Amino acid sequence: MKNSELENILDECLERLVKGETVEQCLQRYPEQAAQLEPLLQTAQAVRKASAILPRSEFKARARYEFRSALQATATRRRLPLFSLRPRWAMALMIIGIVLVAGGGTAAAASNSMPDSPLYPVKLATEQVRLTLTPSDMGKARLCTALADRRVAEIIYMANRGDAEQVDAIAQCLDERLTMLVMLVSAEKVEVPAVEGAPRALTEEPALAPPPAPALPPAPSEEAQGDGDVYAGGNGRAELRMIVAGCACEHPAALRAALGKAPESAKPALRRAIYLSVAGYERALAALD
């Protein structure tokens, strides 16, 4: 008998086993192949039984809750129209307008704001404008690194406040920035995406004045690397790699350190943020190599 014939019969029997037939019933259908089939079907049954593991019920409940929360957060973010659907130049003009009306101090104050601050959308929009106006891919990539540093500080801040939903949302923003970094250094053309999500920040007043951002290991200086294109040449790539390598060590380490202090409710989201940061920086370093 041809191998392919046996393979077809084996597969048909496997499907029948799934539907509830016994090994013996399958063998009766193929008496000529029974001797070859029997050990294979017995093995397949053992494999199927061993594979039938179930997730822990407490994990399943927690995962379901977090999935629902993430769905809810996505829906909320989509309902927030601020800047997200506007052309980037229109958005740049809007930010310039904000600065002119409210004074440069607003944008400066916003640069240190945290996601529970009313100024946080201004911070995100300002970042978006900086990305848009940065001319070279290498300059954009360096700015992405600096913005990733901000996101990590924000994740730690929101984790300390026990806000798992915001930790998840900002971790997604971190992931997007690192993905953008990878694409930029891979010399792919990237359209600067819409402003990162700012769930809740528009409408809710912070209960307390935000404490200072958590201390992180020395971060890449935005002033030195953000708007300027100082390192756009070949050395720029090597320098960027050094910065990214530093962040690849420091950011996950800072997030892991925060895990020890964060409330239980924020820990699963913080673990996902750690996972995303580790994976994101590994991709970035691989792209830079």
Partner 1 sequence: MQDEESLVRRAKQRDQEAFAQLYEGYFDKIYRYVALRIGDRMEAEDITQQVFLNAIKAISSFRWRGIPFSAWLFRIAHNQVVDYLRRKAKRPAIPLDESLVASDHDPQLIAGQKLDIERLHSATGKLTPAQREVISLRFAGELSIAQVASIMGKSEGAVKALQHSAIVALRKTLSVA
Binding site for partner 1 (CB under 8 A): 3-4, 6-8, 10-11, 14-15, 18, 39-40, 42-44, 46-57, 59-60, 63-64, 66-68, 70-72, 74-75, 78, 168, 172, 268, 271-272, 275-276, 278-279, 282
Kindly tell me which of 57 and 100 has the beta carbon lying closer to partner 1: 57
Query: What Rg do the C-alpha atoms of the chain give, in angstroms?
Result: 26
Least distance in Å: CB of 64 to partner 1?
8
In the bound state with partner 1, the residue whose beta carbon lies nearer, of 231 and 281, is: 281
Q: Output the smallest distance, CB 135 to partner 1, in A.
A: 29
Of 26 and 95, CB closest to partner 1: 26
Task: Determine the Cα–Cα distance for residues 124 and 130; give it in Å rounded to an integer.
Answer: 10
Nearer to partner 1, 45 or 136 (CB): 45
Residue type at 98?
Answer: I
Question: Smallest gap, in angstroms, from Cβ of residue 125 to partner 1?
Answer: 22
Whose structure tokens read 């901000």? 150
Residue nearer to partner 1 on the CB measure, 46 or 238: 46
DSSP states of the chain: --HHHHHHHHHHHHHHHHTT--HHHHHHH-GGGHHHHHHHHHHHHHHHHHH-----HHHHHHHHHHHHHHHHHHHHHHH--TTTTS-HHHHHHHHHHHHHHH-HHHHHHHTT--TTSTTHHHHHHHHHHHHHH--SHHHHHHHHHHHHHHHHHHHHHHHHTT-HHHHHHHHHHHHHHHHHHHHHHTT---PPPPPPP-TTTTTPPPSSPPPPPPP-SPPPPHHHHSS--TT-SHHHHHHHHHHHHHHHHHHHHHHHHHHHHS-GGGHHHHHHHHHHHHHHHHHHHHHH-
Q: How far is the CB of 229 from partner 1 (least distance, A)?
A: 31
CB 135 within 8 Å of CB 192: no
Q: Which is nearer to partner 1, 129 or 248 (CB)?
A: 248
- Residue closer to partner 1, measured from CB, 141 or 273: 273
- d(Cα 227, Cα 243) in Å, to the nearest integer? 16
Residue 69 beta carbon to partner 1: minimum distance, rounded to whole angstroms? 10
Q: Nearest approach, Cβ of 53 to partner 1 (angstroms)?
A: 5
For the CB of residue 178, give the shortest distance to partner 1 in the complex, in Å. 13
Q: Least CB distance from residue 171 to partner 1, whole Å?
A: 9
Q: Which residue number, 59 or 89, has a Cβ lying nearer to partner 1?
A: 59
Residue 48 CA, distance from chain mean position: 34
